[in-house]
Structure 1
Amino acid sequence: MQTAEFAPWEDPQQKPLIRFQNVTKRFGEFTAIHDLSLDIFEREFFALLGPSGCGKTTMMRMLGGFETPTEGRIELAGQDIGPVPPNKRATNMMFQSYALFPHLSVWDNIAFGLRRDKKSKEQVAARVEEMLKLTRLEKFSRRKPHQISGGQRQRVALARSLAKAPKLLLLDEPLGALDKKLRQDTQFELMDIQETTGTTFVIVTHDQEEAMTVASRVAVMDEGRLMQVATPARIYETPESVYVADFIGDVNIVHGKATASGKEQYRIDWSDTLPPLTATSAKPFSDGQDCHLAIRPEKVAISTERPEAADNVVQGTVHDIAYLGNLSTYHVALPGGTIIKAQTANTRRISRRHITWEDPVWLSWTATAGVLLAE
C-alpha cells in the first residue's frame, strides 16, 4: 500500500538505487535487451511486466549477477555491479520454484544464509525469529517444506531471502504456482512485508493484475524494450501506445483519422456508415493523421433508449454477454461488424436481465473517456 506521498521518481533530487544505463544484452545473434535505460528508487515495489520472451527475466538476471550486460552499465547504490559476483551483491533472488532445502526445517532453511555468513548463534536465532514473525510462520518453524502448503513455502522462501537484509530483493514470478485466491491474499502479504522492511522489491510477472496490485510503478516491456514506465493508474488511464492500452486490462480500440475540431478536441472519422466520434487529446494530431482511440469498457454506457446528451452515441445489437458476478460485459455489434464492449457493475441481484442477447441498444461515452493514440 504505497502512500500518496511516495513518488521519488518525480523528485529530481532523489538518487536512484538501481540505474540501467544504455544496457544491451545479446545471446549470440539474438538481442534480448535493446539499449535500455531505467531508474528504480529505494523502497519501491517495482514490476517488470510483459509477455514471455520480452526480456524481463533477462533484466532481473542481470541485476542478480547471473548474466552480464553486453553493453552499458548497471549501478546499485552508485556502484557498477557488472564485475561483482552474485554472492557479493547486496541483492537476493527469490525463484519461482522457491528452491527450499527439503531435508531442512523451516527454521534451518531461513537460517542457512546467515550461518554461511558466519553469524553468531545468538544473531542467527534472533534474526530467524524476527523473520518467522514477519511472515507469520512461528507455528511451522520445525516442519519440513513438504509438510506445509504452497503459500507457506512461498513465505519461507521470502523469509530466507529477507533474512540477510538485502538492499534489493528480486522476485521471479513468485506467485505463479499458487491458485488465484491464495495468490491474491499473498499479494497483499507481500506488500505489507515490503512496506514493513523498506526493502526495494523488483518483481517479474506476466500477470497484469498482479503488477497493478502490488507495484508502486510498472515497466511494460515488449521485445527487449520499455514501452512505458509509470504508476499503475497512469498505465491504465493514460497509456502511451496501443500496445500498452491493449496489454493492460480490457479495452476497445477504434482506428480512424483525426481532424482538429476545437482546442485539444478532435473529430475521428472511423466508419463509412457511422457518424464521426469526438475525442480530446493534449497531444497534437495533424489533420487526417491516423489515430487509435482507446476506450475502457467501464467508460461506455449501455442503454435501451437513446441517451439525451452525450458526446458519442452509436447503436448496435447485443452479440455476447460475459457475466463475471460483480460485472457484466456486453459485446455490442455495430453496423459494419465492429464490436464495442460496455461494462456495467452488478450492484443489485439480477432476477431478470433488462438487456439480453440480440437486443438493440445504444452505447455512449464522453469526449474525455478515451485516450487518443498515434501508434
Structure 2
Amino acid sequence: MSHTEVFAPWDDPEATPLISCQDVTKRYGEFTAIERLTLDIFPREFFALLGPSGCGKTTLMRMLGGFEDVSGGRITIDGQDMAGIPPNKRAVNMMFQSYALFPHLTVWDNLAFGLKRSDMAKDQIGDRVEAMLKLVQLQKFAKRKPHQLSGGQKQRVALARALAKGPKLLLLDEPLGALDKKLRQQTQFELMDIQEKTGTTFVIVTHDQEEAMTVASRIAVMDEGRIVQVDTPGRIYEAPNSVYVADFIGDVNVIRGRVSALNGESAELNWGEGKRPIRATAGAGAVHDASGAFVIRPEKVTIATEEPTDRHNRVKGVVEDIAYLGNLSTFHVRLESGDLISAQLANSRRFANRGITWEDPVWLSWSDTAGLVLGD
C-alpha cells in the first residue's frame, strides 16, 4: 500500500468487514460484561480496544478468539458465524501478555512447535520458521532458550509464533504490558511495521491511551461493556463525542456550565455569574439551555503575564504548580472561580518560560475554535 492512498475501508460502503459483531452480549450470571455491542473491523486494520479495567475489552477479545461463548447476538469472522467454533478451528491466533513460551525449547523450536501440529507440509516448516525469525529480526537468537532472552526479545518470539500459521486475525492482549516505557515505545513501532508487512488484521487490547494512539488505525473506547466511540486516533483526540472520551484520551481541561448559545458550528457556555461566556466549537450532545461541558487540551491554552485583549476567551488566575517535562512545561493555574486549568508550553530554549513562576498572577486565553462544548 503506498502512503499516498488513504487507508480507510470503514468509510467505504462497499468494503466487507473481516469481523462483524452484531448485538453481542455476554453475561456471567446476573452480571452483564458486554451489552448489545455492534462493531465492524476491516481486513488489514490495526484496531485498538481501549478502556479502563473491567470495561469488557478483554471479554470481547476472548469471544473473538473462541475462549468465551456469546450469550446473545452473533460474531462473524470472514463471513462465517463463529457460534460453537472452537479456538483451534478459527483463522485467529491470540498472543497473551505472559508470552507462554516453552522454556525447554529453543527459539527455533518454539516457532516450529505449532507448525509441526498443523497441516503444513514438513519440508516447508524450516522455511517458514526462518521467514518468521527474519520478520522479527531474531535470526541470531534461533538457538537460544527463552531464559537467555530479554523481555523485548521474548515478546518478539511470541509475536513470531502467533503469526507463523498466517492467521487472518491476531489478537493481542496487553502485549507490551511487561516492557519498560522506552522499550515499549520502540516495540510499538516494530509491531506497526510487522502488521503492515504481513497484512494481518491486528486487534489489540490496551488501557494505555498513548499506545492505542500510536499503533491503531482506529480505536474503540469502551466503558462498562459498551462502545462509547469508534474513530481514528486523530478524530478521537480532536473531536471526542463525550467528556468521558475526552478525559480518557490525553490530558484535558473541563469546565462545566450551561449551553447559552448554539449556532451551527459554534457554541457558548455560561459558567458562572458575571463571567464572560466561553466561546467554542459546538460538539456532540450540546443542547441549548441544557447543562454542558467545555473541554480544551492544555496545548491549546496560551499563558501570559499581560491581559490578551485580542481574545474573547481570557481568564485570570494564579500559577499553583509547574511540571517541567523537558520538552514541555505544564502550568496548573487556579482561576478565581476555583477551577484548575492547565496550559502547556513547548520549551524551545533551555531555560525558556522562566518569566512565569509559582504564585504569579497570569492570564490564560484560547481561540474561539480551540475547544469543544459537549453535552454533559
Q: Percentage identity across aligned positions?
A: 67
Q: In structure 1, what is the equivalent of residue 334 of structure 2?
A: 333
Q: State the distance in 1 between where 2:251 and 2:71 align.
A: 37
Letter in 1 for 2:268: R
Q: In structure 2, what is the equivalent of residue 309 of structure 1?
A: 310
Q: State the distance in 2 between where 1:72 and 1:286 align.
A: 33
Q: In structure 1, what is the equivalent of residue 271 of structure 2?
A: 270
CA offsets, 1:256-287, max 9 Å, x none?
A: 11122655333311022532211231668443
Q: State the distance in 1 between where 2:21 and 2:347 align.
A: 45
TM-score (norm 2): 0.97
Shift of 1:121: 3.3
Shift of 1:352: 7.0
CA offsets, 1:74-100, max 9 Å, x none?
A: 000110012111001000000000000
Letter in 2 for 1:319: E
Partner SS for 2:240: coil
Tell me if structure 2 keeps the 8 A contact 1:73–1:82.
yes
Q: State the distance in 2 between where 1:311 and 1:336 align.
A: 18
Q: State the distance in 2 between where 1:150 and 1:191 align.
A: 19
Tell me if structure 1 keeps the 8 A contact 2:50–2:209.
yes
Letter in 2 for 1:294: V
Q: After the TM superposition, which residues 2-13 of structure 1 pair with which residues of structure 2 at under 5 Å, given as runs? A: 3=3, 5-13=6-14
CA offsets, 1:95-126, max 9 Å, x none?
A: 00000000000000011110001433320000
The unaligned stretches of length 5 or more in structure 2 are none
Tell me if structure 2 keeps the 8 A contact 1:264–1:284.
no
- Residues 135/347 of structure 1: CA separation in 2 closer, same or farther (3 Å cut): same
Letter in 1 for 2:174: E
Once structures 1 and 2 are overlaid, which stretch shifts more, 254-263 or 91-100?
254-263
Q: State the distance in 2 between where 1:306 and 1:352 align.
A: 17
Letter in 1 for 2:206: T
Q: In structure 2, what is the equivalent of residue 219 of structure 1?
A: 220
2:174 is the counterpart of 1:173: yes
Q: In structure 2, what is the equivalent of residue 29 of structure 1?
A: 30
Q: In structure 1, what is the equivalent of residue 199 of structure 2?
A: 198
CA offsets, 1:160-195, max 9 Å, x none?
A: 000000000000000000000000000000000000
Q: After the TM superposition, which residues 221-370 of structure 1 pair with which residues of structure 2 at under 5 Å, given as runs? A: 221-260=222-261, 262-281=263-282, 285-350=286-351, 353-370=354-371
Letter in 1 for 2:98: S
Q: In structure 2, what is the equivalent of residue 157 of structure 1?
A: 158
- Residues 316/273 of structure 1: CA separation in 2 closer, same or farther (3 Å cut): farther
Shift of 1:351: 6.5
Letter in 2 for 1:355: I
Letter in 2 for 1:253: V
Letter in 1 for 2:212: A
Q: In structure 2, what is the equivalent of residue 81 of structure 1?
A: 82
Letter in 2 for 1:366: S
Partner SS for 1:133: helix
CA offsets, 1:236-259, max 9 Å, x none?
A: 000000100000100001101112
Letter in 2 for 1:298: E
Once structures 1 and 2 are overlaid, which stretch shifts more, 269-278 or 135-144?
269-278
Provide the aligned length of Structure 1 versus Structure 2.
Answer: 375
2:18 is the counterpart of 1:17: yes
Letter in 2 for 1:372: V
Q: In structure 1, what is the equivalent of residue 185 of structure 2?
A: 184
Q: After the TM superposition, which residues 114-153 of structure 1 pair with which residues of structure 2 at under 5 Å, given as runs? A: 114-153=115-154
Tell me if structure 2 keeps the 8 A contact 1:259–1:285.
no
TM-score (norm 1): 0.97
CA offsets, 1:24-73, max 9 Å, x none?
A: 00011110000000000000000000000000000000000000110000
Letter in 2 for 1:165: G
Tell me if structure 1 keeps the 8 A contact 2:26–2:70.
yes
Tell me if structure 1 keeps the 8 A contact 2:239–2:283.
no
